[in-house]
Amino acid sequence: MTRVITYGTFDLFHDGHRRILERARALGDHLIVGVTSDAYDESRGKLDVVQSVVDRIENVRRSGLADEIIVEEYQGQKIRDIVERNVDVFTVGSDWVGKFDYLGEYCRVVYLERTRGVSSTELRAEGVGILRIGIVGAGRIANRFVAEARYVSGVTVDSVFTKSFEHAAQFADRHELRVAHETFDQMLADVDAIYVASPHGTHVDYTRRAIQAGVHVLCEKPMALTSTDAAALYAEAGAANVVLLEALKTAQAPGFRRLVTLARSGTIGKIRSVEATFTKLVPTGRERQAPDGGAISELASYPLLAIVKLLGTEFTDIRATRLIPEDSGVETFARIDLRTDHAVASARVGIGVKAEGDLIIAGEQGYLYVPAPWWLTSYFEERFESPGATRRHYFRFDGDGLRYEISEFIQLIRQQRSSSHHLTASESIAIAQIIETARGDNRAVLS
C-alpha cells in the first residue's frame, strides 16, 4: 500500500481544493490530509482564515477524498507524521516548489502543478466567497505580491495583464496563473479586484478604469502624483461603491500600527518632531527616469506616511531640497521639510545616496526610536531622560509585509467599508499633495 500525505488550511473549501486532493489521492492507495490548526496558521503568518479548524476538517471530510485526517499544530510536525505513519509520498502544490525538499530524506516529495482553469464564475456559483485578484504589471513587486497572497485566506491571484502580452504570459507561466490577459478590459471582466503594480504614471488611468467597471482597486504607491488626481479617484470610488486602497504596506503592519497608537497616546508627551529616512541605491531603471522617476516619487510615501499619521494632514509650510546630478533628469536625494502649528518634520529619501534609515519621534517627555529599516517595523524603543526607563517593543513582521495590505484590502471588501482606519482617503490625498509640492519645489535644487 502506498501512503500519501498532504497539508493545507482548506478554508472556504472550493473546487481548487478538491482537485488538488483528487490528484494527491491518485498518487497512492491511502491519503492522509493534514489540516492546519488555528494557532499554527497564526504562527506562520496566515491571515484572514474565516473558518475554524473544526469546520475546515469537516470541509475535507465531506469531500470523501481523505482516508485519514489529522491536525497540523507546529513547525516540524511533518517529519514526525511521515515517520510515524509510514508515509511513502509527501505532496503539496507547486507554488511551494523547493520548500519541502528536505522531506526527501524520509519519503518521495511530489509538487503538484497549481490547478488552473477554475473560473470566477465557478467559485461564485459555489458561494465560497473567494475573491479573484488580477495583477496589472509584471515587475519585482508583482512577483512578491503573488507569493504573499498565499498567506491570505479567501483570495486567489490567478491573472495578469501588462502592455507586453509576452511579458504577461511569461509571468503567468512562472507563477502558474490561470490566464494572461491580452487587454485590460478583458481582465476587468474576469476579476473582483485588481492590484496595480505598473509604472507610477499609469496608476491613475488603470485605477479610474477599474472603478468605472465596478472593480475594487489596491494600487501601489504613489497612487497619484497630484492631490487633484488622488481626491478625484477616491470620490469616484465612493460614488461607484468600490474599495480603493493605496498599497502602503507599512500602514497595515502590526508593529507600525502599535507605534502610532503609542505615540499618539501621550506616552512621550506632545509630539514636536518627526524625522524619517528611507534610502536605497538604484543605479539604473525607471526609478531614475523622467518624468515620473526620482527619489521623491519612488520612496517619499513611506516617511510621509509616518509624518501624516503622527502629525495629521494640515501643514503650514512644505519645502524640499533636491539633489539632481548633472547627468540625471530626476533627483537622487531629497529632504522634505514640513511644519504644522505645533510641530516640525523632515523626510529624507534617496535612490543615489545612502543614509541611516531610522525613524525618530520626539516628544516633550521622551522619544520613540525605530531602527532601520523602520518601514518594516518589528522593533522600537521608548526612550526617556533616564536610560533606565527605556521600554522595548517587539512585533511580528512576516515575509515582505504585502500580506498585511492584502488582508486589509480583503477585509474592506468583505465588510463593505469604504476606508481603512490605518490609511484614510484624507491621509492618502495629503501624501499626494506633499509629493506634488516637493517635486515641483525648485527653491533649493542642488547639482
CATH number at residue 70: 3.40.50.620
Reply yes or no on whether the pLDDT at 126 is more than 50. no
Measure the CA–CA gap between 443 and 283, rounded to whole angstroms: 26
The whole-angstrom separation of Cα 363 and Cα 382 is: 11
Q: How far apart are CA 44 and CA 258, in angstroms?
A: 20
Residue 215 shares a structural domain with residue 242: yes
Lowest-confidence region among 11-20, 115-124, 419-428: 115-124
Structural domain total, the chain: 3
212 and 172 within one domain: yes
Q: Round to whole Å and give the CA distance between 324 and 290.
A: 12
The verdict on 49 and 80 lying in the same domain is yes
40-68 pLDDT, tens per residue?
888 888 888 888 888 899 999 999 999 99
Q: Structure pTM?
A: 0.85
Q: Are residue 283 and residue 212 in the same domain, yes or no?
A: no
Strand order in the sheet with 444-446: 391-394, 379-384, 366-370, 359-363, 271-279, 344-350, 333-339, 317-323, 444-446
Q: What is the 3-state secondary structure (H, E, C) of 89-141?
A: EEEEEHHHCCCCHHHHHCCEEEEECCCCCCCHHHHHHHCCCCEEEEEECCCHH
Q: Mind listing the pLDDT tens digit for each residue in 389-425? A: 999 999 999 999 999 999 999 999 998 888 899 999 9
In the prediction, which pLDDT does 114 show?
A: 67
Is 332 in the same domain as 199?
Answer: no
Report how far residue 152's alpha carbon sits from residue 48's, in angstroms, rounded to the nearest whole number: 6
In terms of domains, do 239 and 310 share one? no
Choose one of 220, 248, 276: the last residue of a domain.
Answer: 248
Q: Give yes or no for residue 125 having a pLDDT over 60.
A: no
Beta bridge partners of 35: 8, 71
Judge whether 20 and 112 are in contact, CB under 8 Å: yes
Distance CA 368, CA 307 (A): 13
Is residue 321 predicted with pLDDT exceeding 80? yes
List Cα–Cα distances, 409 to 247, 330, 417, in angstroms. Answer: 9, 32, 10
CA distance 42 to 422: 21
Q: 509650510: which residue's cell? A: 317
Q: What is the CATH number of the domain that holds 177?
A: 3.40.50.720
Main-chain phi, psi angles of 248, to 5 degrees: -110, 95
Look up the domain containing 207 and give its range: 120-248
Q: What is the pLDDT of residues 155-210, one digit of tens each?
A: 999 999 999 999 999 999 999 899 999 999 999 999 999 999 999 999 999 999 99
211 shares a domain with 326:
no
* Last residue within a domain, chosen from 248, 269, 288: 248
- 302 with 406, same domain: the answer is yes
Q: Do 318 and 280 share a structural domain? A: yes
Query: CATH number for the domain including 325?
Result: 3.30.360.10
Report the pLDDT value the prediction gives residue 122, as an integer from 0 to 100.
47
Residues 331-373 pLDDT 10s: 999 999 999 999 999 999 999 999 999 999 999 999 999 999 9
pLDDT of residue 1: 92
Query: Do 131 and 244 lie in a common domain?
Result: yes
Residue that terminates a domain, selected from 248, 276, 308? 248
Q: Strand pairing partners for 25?
A: none
CA dist 246 → 14, 160, 229, 241, 259 (Å):
30, 19, 13, 16, 20
Task: Answer yes or no: do 220 and 237 share one domain.
Answer: yes
The amino acid at 219? C
Dihedral over Cα of 222, 225, 227, 229: its sign: negative
282, pLDDT greater than 90: yes
Calpha distance 157→369 (Å, rounded) = 37
